[in-house]
Amino acid sequence: MKKRVVITGLGCVSPLGHTVESTWAAILAGTPGGGPITLIDPTLHKSRVAAEVKDFDAAALFGHREARRMDRFAQLAMAAAQEAMQDSGLQVTDSNRLRVGCLVGSGIGGSTSLIEQVKVFMKSGPDRVSPFLVPMMIPDSAGGLIAIELQIQGPNWAISTACATGGNALGEAAEVIRRGQADAMLAGGSEASVNDLAMAGLGNMTALTGNNDNPQGASRPFDANRDGFLMGEGAAVLMLESLEHAQARGAKIYGEILGYGSTNDAFHISAPAENGRGAVDCMRMALDDAGLKPEQIDYINAHGTSTPLNDKSETAAIKTTFGEHAYKIPVSSTKSMTGHMIGAAGAIEAMFCLLAIRDGMLPPTINYETPDPLCDLDVVPNQARAAEIDICMSNSFGFGGHNATVIVGRYQAQAD
């Protein structure tokens, strides 16, 4: 019997809100998070729209001095981690701090700070480059700062698997607990990639939407007129604990990590494998890990990026994995509202699965207007839907061919 891992705390900062509940309320209302870019000069770019985190005041949260020494991705991660820790009710003391760890990843880390300091270097020379550049730039800085702030000294590292990062972080953190290395792990992802180089690079590879005149309708997963993903930003961090540890302290439990799969397409550095073969293997691995049959999945939060290739290949992969049952499973993409939060996507989408179980509500895929015959599953179009949900699958697929699938379920005192 492998050790059971449950979720006892949630935290997020998103384009839809600065807290879990404000974000979730916006999701159920079908609120679009897209708008004109404000963080950089949008006129330089092909894609001039994004799902930005609005009105985020890092100085008010952390003080001016500390905020200046943190990249935006780390600031967002810190805010999400603080909410998750508070929500969990876990008290860190000298007796347990070595048993509480952190695994928070990022797709591209502190790229904004790197860009800013390259400009300083080119203009004023090496002596003017910030001594805090490397700590701000490296992807593991978020986890390090979280540990310092919360005084947790257990296992702590970062995962960087592009858009699969958040899912891999949750799955690997669960494995840390399962093997007995920690009793509790803060796990998730963070991204702040609305910067000139990321927008230029992704724009030039035609990955981003060009729907600049309709930012709120720009992210349209599974719609026949989708043309690329809407860049998003934000962070999501979840508190994972062994069931025994959570029960011993009387913690509330949102749900349980039932299964985890991780594979690689070994096909192309940015395009998904034909017919989604890597995704199929990943979903099957997660089902096997959970000891579940395909027909036991009640809902899938799809990777659903709103790119022509991804949505088509993911639909094909779900059909291969689930057979005829695929047409009976609601499959929605919350990226239609949050945009693509890159390294944070898998974590916040797993969080949405837990909240869907809690509230009995399926999140919608908004902006769904024109059906695509190649994406013919039940995508919960445009409006949230009441449903009895016990087990959810969250898919995350990233550049480099990385695939991560996490299955979460309603907590039951006795495992079936």
Strands (E), 32-99: 35-36, 49-50
Dihedral over Cα of 354, 358, 362, 364: its sign: negative
Fold classification of 258-409 is Peroxisomal Thiolase; Chain A, domain 1 (3.40.47)
Spot the catalytic one: 18, 45, 102, 163.
163
Spot the catalytic one: 102, 303, 375, 392.
303
Question: What's the pLDDT at 139?
Answer: 94
Question: What's the pLDDT at 415?
Answer: 54
Spot the catalytic one: 18, 45, 245, 340.
340
- Portions of the chain given CATH number 3.40.47.10: 5-248, 258-409
List, for residues 20-29, the tens digit of each pLDDT value.
999 999 999 9
List, for residues 71-97, the tens digit of each pLDDT value.
999 999 999 999 999 999 999 999 999
- Asked about 340 being catalytic, the answer comes back as yes
List, for residues 384-405, the tens digit of each pLDDT value.
999 999 999 999 999 888 999 9
Parallel, antiparallel or unpaired: strands 391-398 and 299-301: parallel
Classify domain 5-248 at the CATH superfamily level: Thiolase/Chalcone synthase (3.40.47.10)
Parallel, antiparallel or unpaired: strands 184-191 and 100-105: parallel
- Asked about 163 being catalytic, the answer comes back as yes
- Asked about 12 being catalytic, the answer comes back as no
Residue 416 has pLDDT above 80, yes or no: no
The span from the CA of 80 to the CA of 237, in Å, is: 6
Residue 274 has pLDDT above 80, yes or no: no
Mean pLDDT, range 302-327, rounded to an integer: 96
Q: Please enumerate in sequence order all residues whose Cβ is within 8 A of that of 320, keeping only pairs 6 or more positions apart, or say none.
A: 275, 276, 280
Query: Which SS3 state, helix, strand or coil, does residue 198 take?
Result: helix
